[in-house]
């Protein structure tokens, strides 16, 4: 059966390098950068939220140099071998997380894989903070109550929630986003920090120590930090636990039935990392059995679906994977993704520091002649810029 072509919007039809974006992305700088460098840019405008592997193969066609794709797509050997066969060697996720990408398959096919670190750190941490407050103070439940016309006057017992000040926030995965979130909770709500990560979060530790001293100098109680050696320790100690690790084999179902049972009965669990880090069925049971326990989720195990029962629970706050959805961040993600693809097609080296991408985002100057972040740079033998030479 013949299939009709997917709808696309074309920029610079006579450009020599063909770059595809599987989705329209915010802003226009990313398109301009590619067009100015001689690319023909094709943006898939098909009205279908998640494109299948076959859809993307059809987009790639017989000649394609690079692709910008999305975290909802399954980038495995099938797509990377199609891209290679079409002459392509550059792919970038428009996301920092790349658990949807089989990096080994990309490397085998000679395709560089980009991601978009740094530009979404604060935006994502802010949503995690918003979820924390919504859960602690029962904002969504109260909003529903109000709109349902149930409010008939102030009561001493109406929607009692949790005070954050002086409580302990637990971070699992204290990388860029986890540390930024921890700082927000420390500065904003004077919470103490307990964290678990494979690596020491030295900058976070120094910040909390210095902030604690500042508070003391103001005659206030200091804040403290503690690095613990097991996930269990965080779960036992914290009043709020926020998850920010990468999703891989070591973090799949990191939060399960047994670990939920270790948490305080009135704790709050926040997840703005990846859904499968939590065993969502176990979480639903835990929320049902413990009405004082609350969860606030931006991500879900079987996105876009929720496990049965979750949507009916008043002690769960659920939002549709919007943690990075600020205008500045989403435009920046699109720009970084385009710069990854363009940099690889131009033969540029790879930037030295995924935590420092500001020069690529400055609209008033030409971006550096580098790929901002290529995760398989070493395995592909790509040149990596030395910080000192910048």
Ligand X SMILES: O=C(O)C(=O)CO
Owner of token pair 């903070």: 129
Binding partner at 273 among ligand X, ligand NAI, none, C-beta below 5 to 8 Å by kind: ligand NAI
| 64/131 with CB nearer ligand NAI | 131
| 18/259 with CB nearer ligand NAI | 259
According to DSSP, the β-strands at 8-11 and 39-44 are antiparallel
Q: Which of 274, 286, 294, 330 is catalytic?
A: 274
| 120/134 with CB nearer ligand X | 120
| 154/199 with CB nearer ligand NAI | 199
Q: Is 339 an annotated catalytic residue?
A: no
Binding partner at 71 among ligand X, ligand NAI, none, C-beta below 5 to 8 Å by kind: ligand X
Alpha helices in the chain (DSSP H): 29-36, 53-60, 77-85, 103-108, 121-136, 139-147, 176-189, 202-217, 231-237, 257-262, 280-289, 327-346, 358-361, 377-380
Cβ at position 180, least distance to ligand NAI in Å? 8
Tokens standing for residue 85: 């066969």
Helix, strand, coil share (%) of the chain residues, nearest 5: 35, 15, 45
| 95/361 with CB nearer ligand X | 95
Whether the CB-CB separation of 257 and 279 falls below 8 Å is answered with: yes
Cβ at position 159, least distance to ligand X in Å? 31
Whether the CB-CB separation of 75 and 99 falls below 8 Å is answered with: no
Binding partner at 307 among ligand NAI, ligand X, none, C-beta below 5 to 8 Å by kind: none
Q: What's the CA angle centered on 351, arms 350 and 353, to 5 degrees?
A: 135
| 86/322 with CB nearer ligand X | 322
Cβ at position 101, least distance to ligand X in Å? 11
Q: Is 14 an annotated catalytic residue?
A: no
Q: Report which residue's Cβ sits closest to ligand NAI.
A: 175
Q: Which residues bind ligand NAI (CB under 6 A)?
A: 96-97, 117, 120-121, 124, 172-178, 196-199, 244-247, 250-251, 272-274, 298-299, 321, 323-324
| 49/217 with CB nearer ligand X | 49
Residue 334 engages ligand X in binding (rule: CB under 6 A): no
Binding partner at 247 among ligand NAI, ligand X, none, C-beta below 5 to 8 Å by kind: ligand NAI
In whole angstroms, what is the distance from residue 78 CA to residue 75 CA? 8
- How many chain residues bind ligand X (CB under 6 A)? 6
Q: Which of 89, 286, 321, 330 is catalytic?
A: 321
Subset of residues 71 to 130 that bind ligand X, contact rule: CB under 6 A: 71, 95-97, 120
Closest CA to 113 of 340, 330, 274, 329: 340
Cβ at position 362, least distance to ligand NAI in Å? 20
Tokens standing for residue 65: 């140099």
Alpha helices in 114-156 (DSSP H): 121-136, 139-147
Binding partner at 315 among ligand NAI, ligand X, none, C-beta below 5 to 8 Å by kind: none
Sign of the Cα torsion 104, 106, 110, 115 reads negative
Cβ at position 96, least distance to ligand X in Å? 4
Whether the CB-CB separation of 58 and 83 falls below 8 Å is answered with: no
Q: Which of 205, 232, 303, 352 is catalytic?
A: 303
**Burial group, residue 127, by CB count within 10 angstroms (0-12, 13-18, 19+):** buried
Q: Is 303 an annotated catalytic residue?
A: yes
What pairs with residue 240 in β-bridges? 169, 268
Interface with ligand X (CB under 6 A): 71, 95-97, 120, 324
Residues labelled catalytic: 274, 303, 321
């Amino acid at each position: 059966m013949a299939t009709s072509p997917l709808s696309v919007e074309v920029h610079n039809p006579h450009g020599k390098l063909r770059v595809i974006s599987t989705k329209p992305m915010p802003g226009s700088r990313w398109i301009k950068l590619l067009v100015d460098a001689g690319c023909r840019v094709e943006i898939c405008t098909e009205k279908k939220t998640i494109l299948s592997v076959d859809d993307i193969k059809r987009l790639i066609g017989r000649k394609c140099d690079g692709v910008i794709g999305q975290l909802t797509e399954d980038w495995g050997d099938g797509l990377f071998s199609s891209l290679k066969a079409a002459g392509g060697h550059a792919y970038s996720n428009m996301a920092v997380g790349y658990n949807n990408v089989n990096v080994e398959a990309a490397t085998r096919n000679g395709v560089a894989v980009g991601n978009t670190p740094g530009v979404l750190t604060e935006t994502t941490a802010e949503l995690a903070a918003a979820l924390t407050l919504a859960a602690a103070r029962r904002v969504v439940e109260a909003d529903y109550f109000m709109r349902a016309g149930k409010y008939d006057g102030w009561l001493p017992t109406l929607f009692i929630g949790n005070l954050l000040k002086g409580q302990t926030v637990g971070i699992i995965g204290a990388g860029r986003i986890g540390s930024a979130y921890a700082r927000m909770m420390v500065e904003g709500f004077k919470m103490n920090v307990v964290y678990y990560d494979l690596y020491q979060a030295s900058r976070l530790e120094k910040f909390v120590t210095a902030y604690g001293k500042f508070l003391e100098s103001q005659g206030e109680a200091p804040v403290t930090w503690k690095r613990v050696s097991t996930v269990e320790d965080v779960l036992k100690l914290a009043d709020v636990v926020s998850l920010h690790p990468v999703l891989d084999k070591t973090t799949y179902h990191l939060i399960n039935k047994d670990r939920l049972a270790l948490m305080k009965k009135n704790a709050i669990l926040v997840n703005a990392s990846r859904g499968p880090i939590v065993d969502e069925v176990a979480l639903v049971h835990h929320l049902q059995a413990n009405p004082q326990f609350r969860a606030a989720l931006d991500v879900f195990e079987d996105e876009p679906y929720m496990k049965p029962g979750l949507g009916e629970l008043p002690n769960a706050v659920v939002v549709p994977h919007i943690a990075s959805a600020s205008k500045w961040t989403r435009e920046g993600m699109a720009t970084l993704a385009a710069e990854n693809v363009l940099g690889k097609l131009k033969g540029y080296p790879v930037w030295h520091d995924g935590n420092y991408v500001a020069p690529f985002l400055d609209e008033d100057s030409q971006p550096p002649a580098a790929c901002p972040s290529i995760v398989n740079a070493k395995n592909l033998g790509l040149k990596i810029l030395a910080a000192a030479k910048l």
